[in-house]
Structure 1
Amino acid sequence: MIYPHGNKYDKELSENNREFVSSIETCIDNLRVDCKNCFGLCCVALYFSASEGFPIDKDAGRPCINLQSDFNCSVHKDLRDKGLKGCTAYDCFGAGQKVAQVTYSGRDWRLVPESAKQMFEVFLIMRQLHEMLWYLTEASTLQVAHSEKEKLNSIINETIRLTHLSPDSLIELDVESHRDNVNVLLLKTSELVRAKVCRGQKNPSKHQKTKARGADLIAADLRKTNLRGANLRGACLIAANLREVDLSGADLIGADLRDTDIRGANLTDSIFLTQSQINTAKGDSDTKLPRLLTHPTYWLK
């Protein structure tokens, strides 16, 4: 499957990167999944197990049995019914089409099998960079000090530059070091946003004050807890009850929302929330989401 050069992904990196950063919608569009322009990379490169929302085990590098020759999924419309909830919860943040159309210029791993192993490794690295771009782009839209916005724009441009490296350079990239730099800015942004929300509130809850990552809130009933501006970074909220809770300004980066009840909850102004997190939760038509996210179709059934 060969795609012509000059598609929209090649236009992502302009001569002046700041033009790209100024267009938030364009940036977000390039961070959304576009399976039609991918080579089924997530269906091959990743491993999955029967204990993680899949019906069977699959080794990394082995194509899923449902991946067709045209790289489409034969059961895409029935993933949840087929026991493939893990697929509905996965988001590559547009890394699949970037690797397929930009890094490898439309040459897929079946046509060039000798590059398959490298392509899968590059995909995993690209996915991390694109996830960082998602959070950084959101952070740049929040009301923070001008000096912080300049730092955010600078690291966004640097991250975009990294996504255009050659396959060999991407594999050699110190992703963790770059992630550390990104996290410093995301944490600072979180503190500024949450402080603004919490300012003036009486009796802030312990969840608002905590700075510990990964709070254990499994199955917790939080309906009467003040979570406005709460620090829920990495919190384990599996099966927690957040029904009709106001999560304005709450930081949910990395929070585990599997089977979390967010029916009627207000997440409109929550920060660092992703579609994959929403796809694992239990919501309804009354759940209010940030404008960049959508209600999963199964919520409305």
Structure 2
Amino acid sequence: MPETPPTAQPQDELRADCANCFGLCCVALPFAKSADFAVNKAAGQPCRNLQQDFRCGIHAKLRTSGFTGCTVFDCFGAGQKVSQITFGGTDWREAPGTARQMFEVFPVVRQLQELLAYLNEALSLPATRRIHPKLRAAYESVRELSLSDAVTLTEADVPTIRGEVNTLLLEASELARAGVPGKKKNHRGADLIGARLSSAKLRGANLRGAYLIAADLTRADLREADLIGVDFRDADLRGADLTGSLFLTQAQLNAARGDAATRLPEQLSRPAHWA
């Protein structure tokens, strides 16, 4: 059996390190009062819960305080990269003149980090070995851009980059799911809000970008399914099997409901709020 190829970059470098970030997600991004956020906040305005040390004052009780949206956000390591690399460890309070540019750069780098995470996963799949040169080239190109100066980052054509990377990720998905026996279902971009999919056989399915908000997926078979961009908010994943699923993120799991019987890919963690 061929050895599984190493990932392009250690997973820890693609995970948020809040201790080395200047609270950028709590300042740079806007949110509106809703079921996910208790208040309105404009982009560039610090959240009322952000402390002087850039930590969240209600981190342990975000869900019960009306800030569920914060618990499902993932910067994929963009926060510490912008804070420590792009701006050299100088925070926006210490140098207020950099604040606006820093807040503009953060969402750009966040998108690049997300692409790196997906490419990293694609490179870890044995079935994608024949396209590894293309995946690695894309990875290195995106990573190089993510390490650029602030001006270069704000001028980056991220939509075009996303489109190019997505073409590769689609190819990787097809290769990875080709080994799943039987006909695979295609629900790409489907509106499955509130759908009753209990015990559904979705192994190897294409669910890219599907809306599964509040869907009943109890005991569903989602092994090797392509789940990139799936909206799992309030989806019921109790007893579902997601082992080997493709491009599933921790943020997607955090937005869903599950239990001890939900089977997850080994690189992801069971959310604390699950039963």
Where on the TM-score scale, by shorter chain, does this alignment land: which range? over 0.9
Shift of 1:245: 1.2
| Paired letter, 1:167 | A
**1:103 to 2:78 alignment:** no
Gaps of 5+ in 2: none
Partner of 1:27: 10
Residue-by-residue CA offset, 1:114-149 (whole Å, 9 max, x unaligned): 110100110010000000001110111112243311
**1:123 to 2:127 alignment:** no
**1:227 to 2:202 alignment:** yes
In structure 2, C-alpha distance between the alignment counterparts of 1:56 and 1:26, rounded to whole Å:
37
Tell me whether 242-251 or 58-67 shows the greater mean CA deviation.
242-251
- Percent pairwise identity: 53
Shift of 1:23: 5.3
Partner of 1:258: 233
3-state secondary structure, aligned to 1:144: helix
Specify whether residues 194 and 122 from structure 1 end up closer, same or farther in structure 2 by C-alpha distance, changes over 3 A only: same
- TM-score for both structures, normalised by structure 1: 0.87
**1:292 to 2:263 alignment:** no
Residue-by-residue CA offset, 1:163-211 (whole Å, 9 max, x unaligned): 11110111111111111110010001111122211x3x2xx3xxx342x
| Paired letter, 2:218 | R
Gaps of 5+ in 1: 1-21
Shift of 1:299: 1.1
Specify whether residues 61 and 145 from structure 1 end up closer, same or farther in structure 2 by C-alpha distance, changes over 3 A only: closer
In structure 2, C-alpha distance between the alignment counterparts of 1:182 and 1:294, rounded to whole Å:
26
Shift of 1:268: 1.1
Partner of 2:177: 194
**1:40 to 2:23 alignment:** yes
Residue-by-residue CA offset, 1:30-84 (whole Å, 9 max, x unaligned): 0111100000000000000112500111100000000001101000000000010
In structure 2, C-alpha distance between the alignment counterparts of 1:26 and 1:149, rounded to whole Å:
14
Partner of 2:224: 249
| Paired letter, 2:34 | S
Partner of 2:188: 213
| Paired letter, 1:214 | G
CA contact (8 A) 2:6 2:123 kept: no
In structure 2, C-alpha distance between the alignment counterparts of 1:156 and 1:165, rounded to whole Å:
15
* Equivalent residue in structure 1 for 2:135, among 152, 175, 179: 152
In structure 2, C-alpha distance between the alignment counterparts of 1:266 and 1:45, rounded to whole Å:
36
In structure 2, C-alpha distance between the alignment counterparts of 1:67 and 1:193, rounded to whole Å:
42
| Paired letter, 1:122 | V
Tell me whether 238-247 or 87-96 shows the greater mean CA deviation.
238-247
Partner of 1:75: 58
Partner of 2:246: 271
Partner of 1:10: none
Tell me whether 174-183 or 60-69 shows the greater mean CA deviation.
174-183
In structure 1, C-alpha distance between the alignment counterparts of 2:271 and 2:243, rounded to whole Å:
16
CA contact (8 A) 2:24 2:103 kept: yes
3-state secondary structure, aligned to 2:10: helix
Residue-by-residue CA offset, 1:82-106 (whole Å, 9 max, x unaligned): 0100000100000000000111110
Partner of 1:94: 77
In structure 1, C-alpha distance between the alignment counterparts of 2:66 and 2:163, rounded to whole Å:
36
Shift of 1:225: 2.5
In structure 1, C-alpha distance between the alignment counterparts of 2:234 and 2:223, rounded to whole Å:
20
Shift of 1:26: 4.9
Residue-by-residue CA offset, 1:215-253 (whole Å, 9 max, x unaligned): 011111112432000111011001111111111110110
3-state secondary structure, aligned to 1:185: helix
Shift of 1:24: 3.0
In structure 1, C-alpha distance between the alignment counterparts of 2:8 and 2:155, rounded to whole Å:
31
Specify whether residues 260 and 127 from structure 1 end up closer, same or farther in structure 2 by C-alpha distance, changes over 3 A only: same
- Say what the alpha-carbon RMSD is for the aligned residues: 1.4
In structure 2, C-alpha distance between the alignment counterparts of 1:25 and 1:293, rounded to whole Å:
18
